[in-house]
Amino acid sequence: MTNIFAFALGISRHSAAGAMLDCYFPAPCMQPDINLSEIISRHFSAGVTEVAAAVAAAFADELPEGQLKQATQALTAGERALRCVVLENDDAISSTAEAYLKLHLLSHRLALPNSLNLDNIFAHLPNVAWTTRGPIAVDELAAALIKAQTQGQHLEVMAVDKFPKMTNYVVPSGVRIADASRIRLGAFLGDGTTVMHEGFINFNAGALGPNMIEGRVSQGVTVGANSDLGGSSSTMGTLSGGGEIVISVGENCLIGANAGTGIPLGDRCTIEAGLYITAGTKISLLDETGTEVRKVKARELAGGDDLLFIRNSETGRIECRSNRRAIELNAQLHAHN
């Protein structure tokens, strides 16, 4: 193989009927250097393959010291066959294993949101019952519940979904997560990110860190450094009404509690609590004296810096003023020591 876009070695789990339910890749890599690419090529072929532990052990022997070597050695300690994925290009997803590899790349911070080709991901992620005994095929769940009950055991079903929670596969360094069930595998959490109980980060979305997330970061949305999302605030993603518009929040921004945005924000922007800005929202632009200069649709302000969006409590009109004061985050909230 002359080109390797991404590589991973791990464990897959299957239904009783043999359908793949998930994959766990403890140390994926993206665009490996030429030396690692040559080692991979000597042991594995392109695509998705099942690998005997002995083959993986021989691969580990050639690896330099590091996380990949340690993870591979740990994987070979068991007797299970391993799953290997070697992608030569960032093409559309064509298997469950490829889908899980790309989700791992995002949560391992090897790729930023919107930088990978995720076409066909929903078609290749099975709907799975996520339980205290791991993933169970939905059509096998009823039998599993009966078996657990008759044996006096407790089988808890946490979710029935295509995406598992991130922390069962990846726990990035330097983060705080109050409710792990609200972070899907494929989320990007940068160092210094805190996600409170009501915060949610979807797959292919992320907070670049440091951030305080108490609202929803929808699919495709990125939140820049030192920006906060207040309680129950929202960002409109491509799956929640944003269409083809890629929403992003710049650095040093604040989206207040119960507020939201359907347009990209530049740096040092603030949306006051309770105010939701969509692309078609009529905005009154004010000069330094507070006089309306003209009215625009919010989409005309997309990506602008130093914007303060407020609702006039007397007239009800939505106004935009210059916001020259950067939002300063509470340092204690962002400390993860």
Residue 328's pLDDT is what? 40
Residue 17, exposed/middle/buried by CB under 10 A (0-12, 13-18, 19+)? Answer: exposed
Distance in angstroms (rounded) separating the CA atoms of residues 124 and 16:
18
Distance in angstroms (rounded) separating the CA atoms of residues 226 and 54:
47
The model carries a pTM of: 0.93
SS3 of the chain: helix, strand, coil, percent, to 5: 20, 30, 50
Residue 80's pLDDT is what? 81
Angle of helix 34-43 versus helix 53-62 axis, rounded to 10? 150
Residue 193's pLDDT is what? 98
Distance in angstroms (rounded) separating the CA atoms of residues 103 and 129:
18
Which fold, 6-123?
Alpha-Beta Plaits (3.30.70)
Distance in angstroms (rounded) separating the CA atoms of residues 158 and 268:
38
Residue 242's pLDDT is what? 47
Q: Where are the domains of the chain?
A: 6-123, 128-161, 166-322
Q: What is the pLDDT of residues 190-244, one digit of tens each?
A: 999 999 999 999 999 999 999 999 999 999 999 999 999 999 999 997 654 445 6
Residue 27's pLDDT is what? 98
Which fold, 128-161?
Wheat Germ Agglutinin (Isolectin 2); domain 1 (3.30.60)
Domain 166-322: which CATH number of 3.40.50.300, 3.50.50.60, 2.160.10.10, 3.40.190.10: 2.160.10.10
Catalytic, out of 62, 65, 88, 214:
214
Q: Do 6-123 and 128-161 share a fold?
A: no
Give every residue of the chain whose pLDDT is below 50, as ranges: 240-242, 326-334
Q: Is 288 a catalytic site residue?
A: no
